[in-house]
Amino acid sequence: MAKHIFVTGGVVSSLGKGLTCASIGLLLERRGLRVRLQKFDPYINVDPGTMSPYQHGEVYVLDDGSETDLDLGHYERFTNAPLSRDCNFTTGKIYLSVIQKERKGDYLGRTVQVIPHVTDEIKGAVRKLVADDVDVVITEVGGTVGDIEGLPFLEAIRQVALDLGKANVLYIHLTLVPFLKAAGEAKTKPTQHSVERLRQIGIQPDILICRTERELAKEDAEKIALFCNVEKRAVIEERDKEVSIYEVPLSLVENKLDDLIVEKLDLKAKPLQIADWRDMLQRIKNPAHEVTVGVVGKYIKHKDAYKSICESLDHAGIALATRVVVRRIEAEEVEREGAERVLSGLDGILVPGGFDYRGSLGKIDAIRYARERKVPFFGICLGLQCAVIEFARNVVGLEDANSTEFDRNCPYPVVCMLDDQYAIVDKGGTMRLGSYPCNLTEGSKAHKAYGSLLVHERHRHRYEFNNQFRQQFAANGLEVTGTSPNGQLVEVVELRDHPWFLAVQCHPEFKSKPTRAHPLFRGFIQASLQRREKKTEAQRARAATPAKVSM
């Protein structure tokens, strides 16, 4: 029978519950256990797909096409647990299902209520991950204890222990122990209050993980244990990480979290095997090289809007012993200040996915700069579409070429809506979503990077390269090197005479791992590194050559 771990958060949001859950998943896997991970989000949107990146950060897409919370990205980067639409439930998704059942008459005339119908639906969502080949299901409850909208989820997870027996369920509460500089001490009261709220609704946490800026003093840990009714050894410190989020699992091991979980849930676990992860961290901490790449986008102000892209760049850096410094650049800044001023000095330029006209001119200018100056360029989704527009306007000579997303009546619609999108009215979950196969051209940069002619990548788009222009583009040097198996949808374009100018319609950032960098990110960083090294060599040569003295 699968055991359950429920992870809640207290005091403030953004404590890194997702990372903690992913780390717990990793540790249990590394002890030979088969885990599944899932997240509950108490907001009312059915999924985050309709939310602005400013509100929510990145929307993470799974193979099955579900648009999910970005914490699922952490789950996938840290563990091998398969993820599907059953791994992310919002209040909206739960209620949608309850209401659909009510309309069908499934409740047989009963009054439909939060308890038991909504809580049953939530427990049903937890059960979806239980299977014969699963040892532990880890469920993260989003939001902060005390939020009104989180209550049905907390009530449901309380009931799970009643249904399955407490021995099969573990409650972990992640909290903050702030250090008050003025008082010169750490404060445990917010944690006490947060646990008090949990206990009021009948959940006694078994383990407290305390986020701290400084070492958690023994006496503070003891105080927390006493006031929160938790064993002393179950008050675990999780100190802020300076170098990398990939340190989190190791610090939890140091504090014996894996042993505690195994003991409390009576799991049949093997000794921990984590040497490769330790090696990876060593590589992160001791890079041999450094490159600076610019991510030119529109949602720069939200720190998580390009989460998976930034992670993937780091992964490529890990593989190449390189520290990748990412400069996040507002596309409109390129429009205002000019590409030269904003982008000079970069070793590589990446234009990520996005929506709508604002900022598109800046992205197009940045791509032109990369193309003309031979700076390595990587375009992703909207990044490909902007590269196509740039090439049409500035190389092929199609003045005012555009995407119909930006200008419905443009004279040269080089990017246009996918055929099956015209009839769609609803916004939620209706793009071309999820994993699709792509055939690559033999000998192309993409083929060389992947080392394979058939690849599968995830998608999230409504617009697409317009096939009418394919010949014209190829004749001018921009080649289509990847398409859907029937040849109809353009998936990859590359520039022939350029060190690395490659753009993809898919989102490769959703398939990169710290221990297995994505080949295209690796190729891009490798090219950026080569450019950086050439530049440094040229500078060295210049410095070594004595200046000519004119007689």
Residue of 355, 435, 499, 530 that binds ligand GLN (CB under 6 A) = 355
Distance of closest approach, residue 437 Cβ to ligand GLN, in angstroms: 19
Specify the residue, 48 or 353, whose C-beta has the smaller distance to ligand GLN.
353
Closest CA to 391 of 366, 374, 367: 367
Residue of 152, 353, 362, 379 that binds ligand GLN (CB under 6 A) = 353
The CA-atom distances, in angstroms, between 320 and each of 138, 283, 513, 529 are: 33, 9, 14, 9
**Residue nearest ligand GLN (C-beta atom):** 353
Residue 354 interacting with ligand GLN (CB under 6 A): yes
Residue 60 interacting with ligand GLN (CB under 6 A): no
Name the one range near ligand GLN by CB under 6 A: 13-21, 163-171, 343-351, 459-467: 459-467
Name the one range near ligand GLN by CB under 6 A: 69-77, 279-287, 350-358, 466-474: 350-358
Task: Note the maximum CA span of the chain.
Answer: 104
Distance of closest approach, residue 381 Cβ to ligand GLN, in angstroms: 3
Closest CA to 297 of 328, 335, 336: 328
Specify the residue, 347 or 405, whose C-beta has the smaller distance to ligand GLN.
405
Residue of 463, 465, 510, 521 that binds ligand GLN (CB under 6 A) = 463
The CA-atom distances, in angstroms, between 293 and each of 31, 44, 506, 517 are: 37, 37, 20, 17
Residue 121 interacting with ligand GLN (CB under 6 A): no
Specify the residue, 94 or 329, whose C-beta has the smaller distance to ligand GLN.
329
Q: Are strands 60-61 and 289-297 parallel, antiparallel or unpaired?
A: unpaired
Residue 462 interacting with ligand GLN (CB under 6 A): yes
Specify the residue, 43 or 299, whose C-beta has the smaller distance to ligand GLN.
299
- How far apart CA 353 and CA 390 sit, in angstroms, is 16
- How far apart CA 345 and CA 8 sit, in angstroms, is 44
Distance of closest approach, residue 415 Cβ to ligand GLN, in angstroms: 8
Residue 405 interacting with ligand GLN (CB under 6 A): yes
CB neighbours (10 Å) of residue 371?
Answer: 22
3-state helix, strand, coil in the chain (%, to 5): 45, 20, 35
Name the one range near ligand GLN by CB under 6 A: 203-211, 334-342, 457-465, 530-538: 457-465
Residue linked to tokens 């450019």:
531
CB neighbours (10 Å) of residue 422?
Answer: 8
Distance of closest approach, residue 145 Cβ to ligand GLN, in angstroms: 34
Residue 460 interacting with ligand GLN (CB under 6 A): yes
Distance of closest approach, residue 363 Cβ to ligand GLN, in angstroms: 11
Q: Among 247, 311, 330, 509, which one carries the catalytic annotation?
A: 509
The residues near 293 (Cβ < 8 Å, ≥ 6 apart) are 313, 324, 325, 326, 327, 346, 347, 348, 349, 350, 524, 525, 528
Residue of 236, 291, 382, 502 that binds ligand GLN (CB under 6 A) = 382
Backbone angles phi, psi at 301, to 5 degrees: -70, -25
**404 alpha-carbon distance from chain centroid:** 28
> And the tokens for 394?
């500035």
Name the one range near ligand GLN by CB under 6 A: 262-270, 353-361, 422-430, 442-450: 353-361
Specify the residue, 126 or 384, whose C-beta has the smaller distance to ligand GLN.
384
Q: Among 4, 173, 459, 507, which one carries the catalytic annotation?
A: 507
Name the one range near ligand GLN by CB under 6 A: 69-77, 278-286, 320-328, 461-469: 461-469
Residue linked to tokens 């991510």:
295
Distance of closest approach, residue 421 Cβ to ligand GLN, in angstroms: 9
Note whether 388 and 465 are within 8 A (CB): yes
Q: Is 507 a catalytic residue?
A: yes
Query: What sections of 274-379 are H helices per DSSP?
Result: 275-285, 307-319, 331-337, 339-343, 360-373
Backbone angles phi, psi at 523, to 5 degrees: -60, -40
Residue 379 interacting with ligand GLN (CB under 6 A): no
Distance of closest approach, residue 355 Cβ to ligand GLN, in angstroms: 4
Residue 381 interacting with ligand GLN (CB under 6 A): yes
Q: Tell me, by CB under 6 A, how many residues bind ligand GLN.
A: 10
Residue 329 interacting with ligand GLN (CB under 6 A): no
Q: Among 310, 381, 386, 416, which one carries the catalytic annotation?
A: 381
Residue linked to tokens 């249904």:
163
Query: What sections of 105-144 are H helices per DSSP?
Result: 119-127
Specify the residue, 192 or 430, whose C-beta has the smaller distance to ligand GLN.
430
> And the tokens for 548?
């000519």
Distance of closest approach, residue 418 Cβ to ligand GLN, in angstroms: 8
Interaction site with ligand GLN (CB under 6 A): 353-355, 381-382, 405, 460-463
Active site residues: 381, 507, 509
